[in-house]
Chain A
Amino acid sequence: MEKHKPIFFIFYLLSFFFVIIFILKINGKFIFDKEIKFVSIDNFFKKEKDTTSNQEKTILSKRLEVQSDSIKLPIYEPKSESELNVYIDSLINISKLDINESDIKPSPFLYNYQINGKYPLDSFFEKLSNSDSSNKLFRIAHYGDSQIEGDRMTFELRKLFQSKFLCEGVGYIPMRDITDPVSYIRKSDESWIRYTVFTNKIKGFSYGQGGSVYRYAPSLKSSLSLNILSSYKKAYLYYGYGSDSCILDVYSSKHKLLASHHINQKSKFNALDLNLSSNETILEFVFRGPSPSVYGLSFDGQKGIQFDNYGLRGQAGDGLMLIPQSELIDIYSKTNTNMAIVQFGGNVVQGIKNEKSLNFYGNMYKNLYLHFKSALNNGSVLIIGINDVSRSVNGIYESYPNISEMRNLQRKSAVENGMAFFDIYQLMGGENSVKIWNEKGLASRDGHYSDKGRAIVCKEIYKALMFEYKKYLTRKKLVHE
């Protein structure tokens, strides 16, 4: 019996604790006013139950899964409200000044990381460095959502580059749009119907380079009036299938016939030189006969650089993948488009409800970016990432959760696949920055920039690109020496 004493002791001790626990569980969980938490018998033998919500899981994944495997990318910590105020005030002050050579400094927001011995923006810079000696105009296609619609942002970038490289023109003009443009005045006949790769799709027709095609059928006549507001040397009509009986007449403001053309080509994309005198800025375009598929017009300089605006309100960008690669390659070649700027993301934040939807969009953006990269062959692609977007939570405006994760996925896809990335979210100040941008009159609460806000963002993009351009010129010089 003596030798079993320790066993009995342990048995009595365990029984005592078991009784105590049992009584406490029945009588409540409180002892000396302290809450005691017990592990349930079920949970004691089970693996720890994961009670984290999907939304929380997504937030937890923030700094874990979206880091690039091959390239080290910065991790940002959120700024306090006072830090954001100081930072954004400094951005406003800088934007009031003219851009001098001394302002062209390295930008922490632009990623132009070398991959396989090549920098993503080198192709763009090569064209830029030859723009003076070359007699050809080269184009940049700027795709985006409502942040750029109506030539917003594109107009600012165009203005900065055209004043530096001495070129002109407003670039691409759609036949009609859901918003008024900022850089020209357009009055479209009501008969024009807009079909896009997102909504109001049309079977058997192409959508051109911008994902939109315009027709006035069943009507047999339509018109469009424009005030270009700026000078240009060349004017083009972009269209698809025409017919022998379709004619375009172009009139001046005094109703003088300036040009008349048959719109009769049968290929999917045609760039018709309108042979207009460049001193007429108020123009009327009258189409007669069965409607061709019109993609739009373009007013450009003879050489240099042109930015074309393809703004698609309310879209995530994926519809542009419905433009077949072969068509984009053909159009880019015919229009001498050598670079794409892709700026989407603001519309997906509402749809990101869990990790699955976050990664769904991450995968979608990777495919979209590669779609343009493949079509441009050796051209450059610049991804402008998602900006801060807020929504009301119990009456208080806060950033949507998961914007930084979306930015991280966009950034990862861009840098790992040889594309440049501009981090507009971090430029704004990161999480909850849009609230301060809104208070300072730089953006609406939903993240759309005001004229002032847009000017700040575009100047920063321009300066960042110009610094990389300087680096490119230095590298080029070293190679030739």
Chain B
Amino acid sequence: MNIKETLQEIFRTVFEDGELLINEEMTANDVSNWTSLTHLIMIEKVENTFKIKLTLKELIKLKKVGDLLDLIQQKI
């Protein structure tokens, strides 16, 4: 699985939507259950799955799924 597919699996699990298809422009507005509470669970799963660490500064800057994909790409 590539980064996007892996991230999609994480999204499907955390946001409890087995059919969720992610895209670069997607934001919290587009996904039911994407709140600050689930956001941190998703970030923890991303860190563990890709074996990376995201800083607070990086977390705050994230605006859409595309930003997260870019960040993962840079870090692995």
Pair A351/B40 contact, Cβ less than 8 Å:
yes
Closest Cβ neighbor of A362 among chain B residues? B56
Contacts of B32 in A (CB 8 A): 199-201
Interface SS of chain A? helix
A466 within 8 Å of B (CB atoms): no
Q: Is the CB of A198 within 8 A of B30?
A: no
Q: Which of A332-369 contact B (CB under 8 A)?
A: 347-348, 351, 356-357, 359-361, 363-364
A201 touches B30 (CB 8 A): yes
Among the 9-residue stretches A127-135, A314-322, A375-383, A446-454, the one with 4 or more Cβ atoms under 8 Å from chain B is A314-322
- Contacting residues, chain B, for A348 (C-beta < 8 A): 36-37
Q: Which residues of the partner chain B approach A316 to less than 8 Å between Cβ atoms? A: 35-37
Q: Which of B31, B35, B55 contacts A318 (CB 8 A)?
A: B35
B21 interface residue per 8 A CB criterion:
no
Minimum C-beta distance from A315 to chain B (A):
7
In the assembled complex, the CB of B62 is this many whole angstroms from the nearest CB of chain A, namely: 11
A37 within 8 A of B: no
Contact A315 B30 (CB under 8 A): no
Total A residues in contact with B, Cβ cutoff 8 Å: 20
A255 at the interface (CB under 8 A from B): no
CB-CB under 8 A from A351, the residues of chain B are 36-37, 40-41
Interface SS of B by simple majority: helix
Whether A356 touches B37, Cβ cut-off 8 Å, given contacts A201-B31, A322-B28, A322-B29, is no
A201, A347, A364: the one within 8 Å of B29 (CB)? A201
Number of B residues near A (Cβ < 8 Å) is: 15
Task: Check if B36 sits within 8 Å of A363, measured CB to CB.
Answer: no
**Contact between B29 and A359, CB atoms less than 8 A apart:** no
A46 lies within 8 A of chain B by Cβ: no
A363 B60 Cβ-Cβ under 8 A: yes
Q: What residues of chain A lie closer than 8 Å to B36, measured between beta carbons?
A: 316, 318, 348, 351, 360-361, 364
Q: Given the complex, which residues of A lie within 8 Å of B31, measured CB to CB?
A: 201
Asked if B13 CB lies within 8 Å of chain A CBs, one says: no
Residues on A with beta carbons closer than 8 Å to the beta carbon of B55: 356
With A351-B40, A357-B40, A360-B60 already in contact, the answer to whether A203 and B30 are too (CB < 8 A) is yes
Contact A356/B29 with A315-B35, A351-B40 known, Cβ cut-off 8 Å: no
**B73 CB–A CB distance under 8 Å:** no
Could you list 18 examples of A-B contacts with CB < 8 Å? Answer: A199-B35, A201-B32, A315-B35, A316-B35, A316-B37, A318-B36, A319-B35, A322-B28, A322-B29, A348-B36, A348-B37, A351-B36, A351-B41, A356-B56, A357-B40, A359-B56, A360-B40, A360-B59
Q: Which residues of B come within 8 Å of A, CB atoms?
A: 28-33, 35-37, 40-41, 55-56, 59-60
Q: Which 5 A-B residue pairings sit nearest by Cβ, starting from the closest?
A: A318-B36, A316-B36, A201-B32, A356-B56, A351-B40
